[in-house]
Amino acid sequence: MTPHGVALVDKPAGMSSFSVVSRLRRVMRPLGVSKVGHTGTLDPLATGLLPICISEATKFAQRLLDSDKGYLATVQFGAATTTGDAEGEVTHRSDRSLTASDVAAALATFQGPIRQKPPAFSALKIAGKPAYEYARAGQSVEIAEREVTIHAITLLAFDEATQRADIEVLCSKGTYIRSLAVDLAVALGSAGHLAALRRTRTGGFSLSEARPLDAWMEASDEQRLAWLLPTDSLVIDLPRIDLDTANATNLCNGKLVALSRVANADVSGATADSTLCRVYTGDAPARFIGLGRLGDSGILRVERLLSTK
């Protein structure tokens, strides 16, 4: 059977997320793997946690795309750039000298729901093309603001001599830390850009669990398989239902399953109708077969399943 699961990669600087996926696909191909996909891009400048879904796990990647993210960011005040980060050319400078108190006070105003415009140099699709393609061609396109949520934002350190701030951010999906850095500088009456970025969290996954890309590339096939997290780690927050073999087969065949007729069916955590659940079958160890939706009167219907091949 083709292996499936989640590879937690610590992405190096200077490489696109697509390049990381391509390299991992190459070393996993001898194991029969063809489908590989990341769960949210990181800019080439950025480092840190890049969860990569392998084979059947790609069916459940959307949950990580929609999840909260955590970052460590360095903001350089005093100079704005074309890209909003250190890779762009300086467009203008500010000689305002900021203090740690200034920055901390400004950060507090960004916590909670905020309006934010994605950077012109971003992968956001506009009329079917990434925004950065228009920007590189010198074409100006309208990019609409969007609402995102900053759950927590903390000043970790500030160097008055260099005018650099290290901050920690926990935010909703779709948040651009480059835009946050630029907007923070503007709020302080200065100019600024993102100097460095490291992703520390995606959903329930942490950077502490990840391994450097070089380690994944140099490991043996057996070691890579041992490092893969199980596919159900992508949906571990959902309530769990265990079915016997007969009812699991019925569900996989598209039939409705009445949980009232399933012995020892545990639906703890399912508190409302139409609740998405992770479904398991078999004796110990139980086997994850996919997602089901629990509806009215305890009726379970299939939502998304692992391949049975």
43 as an active site residue: the answer is yes
C-alpha distances (whole Å) from 153 to each of 234, 287, 292 are: 26, 39, 36
CB atoms within 10 A of CB 274: 10
Annotated catalytic residue within 43, 85, 102, 183: 43
Angle 3-9-12 (CA atoms, 0-180°, nearest 5)?
Answer: 145
Catalytic residue ranges: 43
